[in-house]
């Protein structure tokens, strides 16, 4: 697996940052650029691969074992819109010494151990970081590199026993559109895994229920010198609306199974304000209650400031895949044993987010999520140990071995 760091670095240099309000699909043409590159690499390995008009890559690797259900591996092409993915300059820290890492001396950007203590686990390892001006893109180009490394291994080891292996790389996952135009028939897997997790050992079988609330607040602008009794300040109404969200139910105050409200965009003026709020909860009842709270708050303020002062549009994005995956204990058993056979203790935690696999599970293909090894996703402090990427490849290959003996697991 000497190539995996090289693969990863090549991929992160291609700008695939998704654009939330883009009218095109995919939202960034760089996603198709990366998809075409990956198609060519897979074809050079001797496999069938194609990129469709929407940028999805589909690849099928013919099996050499019979009576094995086809298993798929998925990663997404785009990076998060919240932090720049342009001109990524990855850097390898050789034999990390366990101390703070100066990412950018000129800008005094430092990855500090006291702020990110998990990095101390990787003392002595080679670690890939950013230069402090962009994200790194391990979410999810590490997953892509790991799947590609698996494919390369299979191509070079014809005696490796496996069933049919399916690969898909999807655009615009970060803006909730990764499954919008996904072709299930073309993919053709019965079971699948997204390789889109974080710390080494992670196996995730449940995720948030997710929705976004889109709010439009209409005010009435009057010259401030003559505004008494007349002005209706949309900015202040928006602030009042946001203050009605429980202050302890925010990302910065929650963990594990605790849900949240997250205002992530606010723009406008006295006359009109637009804001977007993420709504998240693992529990379906609490999730529905959160959506109701936003509608009720808007209704209250409409009573206070006038009809249609606030309009609310709540759109569901994905649901908790646990309710699907609980019916497929065999796939989870294979995954757990694959991680243990790589010398790693499985870390079974809920995803405080979502993956393409959440939506895909509800579309008929149960799809838990595997670790990539990355840390601090969506951040200029993102990093990934090369050894963790290598272990991810080992786990993927172990899963393929497990499916080659599928009848040993099926109940």
Q: What is the dihedral of CA 342, 346, 352, 356, to 10 degrees?
A: 50
Mean pLDDT of the chain: 95
Examine the pLDDT at 299 and tell me if it is beyond 50: yes
pLDDT tens across 377-400, in order? 999 999 999 999 999 999 999 999
pLDDT band per the 50, 70, 90 thresholds, residue 408: low
How does pLDDT run across 199-223, given as a tens digit for each residue? 999 999 999 999 999 999 999 999 9
Q: Is 268 helix (H, G, I), strand (E, B) or coil?
A: strand
Residue 19 has a pLDDT of 96
User: Phi/psi at 326 (nearest 5 deg)?
Assistant: -60, -20
Q: State pLDDT tens for residues 66-80.
A: 889 999 999 999 999
Average pLDDT estimate for 53-67:
95
Give the pLDDT confidence score for residue 405 in this predicted structure. Answer: 86
Sign of CA dihedral 10, 14, 16, 17: positive
Are 308 and 302 a contacting pair, CB within 8 Å?
yes
3-state helix, strand, coil in the chain (%, to 5): 35, 20, 45
String of DSSP letters for 155-191: HH-TTS----EEEEEES-GGGT-TTTT--HHHH--SE
What residues contact 236, with CB distance under 8 A and at least 6 apart? Answer: none
Annotated domain spans of the chain: 4-206+321-408, 209-318
CATH number (3.40.630.10, 3.40.50.300, 3.90.330.10, 3.30.420.10) of 4-206+321-408 reads: 3.40.630.10
Contact 148, 38 (CB under 8 A): yes
Question: Is residue 23 left, alpha or beta, with left meaning phi > 0 and alpha meaning psi from -120 to 50?
Answer: alpha
Strands 383-385 and 48-51 come out as: unpaired
Q: Could you tell me the pLDDT band of residue 310, with boundaries at 50, 70 and 90?
A: very high
Rg (CA), the chain: 23
Q: Which residues of 236-254 are buried (b: 16+ CB within 10 A; e: fewer)?
A: ebbebbeeebeeebeeeeb
Residue 351 has pLDDT above 60, yes or no: yes
Read off the pLDDT of each residue in 351-375 and give the average, rounded to a whole number.
Answer: 94
Query: Hunting for tokens 């790693």 — which residue is that?
Result: 344
Nearest-angstrom CA–CA distance, 10 and 5: 9
pLDDT of 411 > 50? The answer is no
Q: How far apart are the C-alpha atoms of 226 and 263, rounded to whole Å?
A: 32
Q: Measured between alpha carbons, how far is 18 from 29 in angstroms, rounded to an integer?
A: 9
Number of H helices, E strands in the chain: 10, 17
Query: In a 10 Å sphere around its CB, with 0-12 CB exposed, 13-18 middle and 19+ buried, how is residue 148 labelled?
Result: buried
Catalytic residues: 78, 173
Looking at domain 209-318, its CATH class is alpha beta
């Amino acid at each position: 697996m000497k190539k995996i760091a090289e693969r990863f670095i090549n991929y992160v240099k291609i700008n695939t940052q998704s654009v939330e309000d883009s009218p095109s699909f995919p939202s960034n043409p760089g996603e198709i650029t990366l998809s075409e590159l990956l198609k060519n690499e897979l074809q050079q390995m001797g496999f069938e691969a194609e990129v469709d008009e929407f940028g999805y890559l589909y690849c099928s690797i013919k099996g050499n074992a019979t009576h094995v259900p086809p298993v798929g591996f998925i990663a997404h092409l785009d990076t998060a819109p919240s932090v720049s993915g342009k001109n990524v300059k990855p850097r390898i820290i050789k034999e990390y010494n366990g101390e703070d890492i100066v990412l950018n001396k000129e800008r005094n950007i430092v990855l500090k151990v006291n702020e990110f203590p998990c990095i101390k686990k990787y003392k002595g390892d080679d670690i890939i970081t950013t230069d402090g001006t962009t994200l790194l893109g391990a979410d999810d180009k590490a997953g892509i590199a790991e799947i590609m490394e698996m494919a390369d291994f299979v191509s070079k080891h014809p005696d490796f026993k496996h069933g049919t292996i399916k690969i898909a790389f999807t655009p615009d996952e970060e803006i909730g559109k990764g499954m919008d135009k996904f072709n299930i028939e073309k993919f053709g897997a019965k079971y699948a895994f997204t390789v889109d997790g974080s710390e080494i050992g992670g196996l995730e079988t449940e995720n948030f229920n997710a929705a976004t609330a889109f709010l439009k607040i209409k005010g009435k602008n009057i010259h401030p010198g003559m505004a008494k009794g007349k002005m209706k300040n949309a900015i202040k109404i928006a602030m009042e609306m946001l203050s009605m969200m429980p202050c302890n139910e925010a990302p910065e105050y929650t963990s594990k199974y605790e849900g949240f409200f997250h205002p992530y965009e606010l723009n406008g003026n006295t006359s009109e304000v637009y804001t977007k709020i993420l709504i998240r909860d693992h529990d379906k009842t609490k999730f529905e209650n959160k959506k109701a709270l936003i509608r009720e708050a808007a209704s209250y303020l409409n009573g206070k400031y006038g009809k249609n002062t606030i309009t609310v549009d709540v759109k569901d994005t994905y649901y908790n895949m646990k309710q699907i995956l609980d019916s497929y204990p065999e796939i989870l058993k294979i995954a757990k044993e694959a991680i243990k056979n790589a010398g790693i203790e499985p870390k079974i935690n809920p995803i405080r987010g979502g993956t393409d696999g959440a939506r895909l599970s509800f579309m008929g293909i149960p799809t838990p999520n595997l670790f990539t090894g990355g840390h601090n996703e969506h951040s200029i402090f993102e990093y990934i140990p090369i050894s963790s990427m290598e272990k991810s490849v080992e786990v993927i290959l172990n899963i393929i071995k497990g499916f080659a003996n599928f009848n040993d697991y099926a109940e």
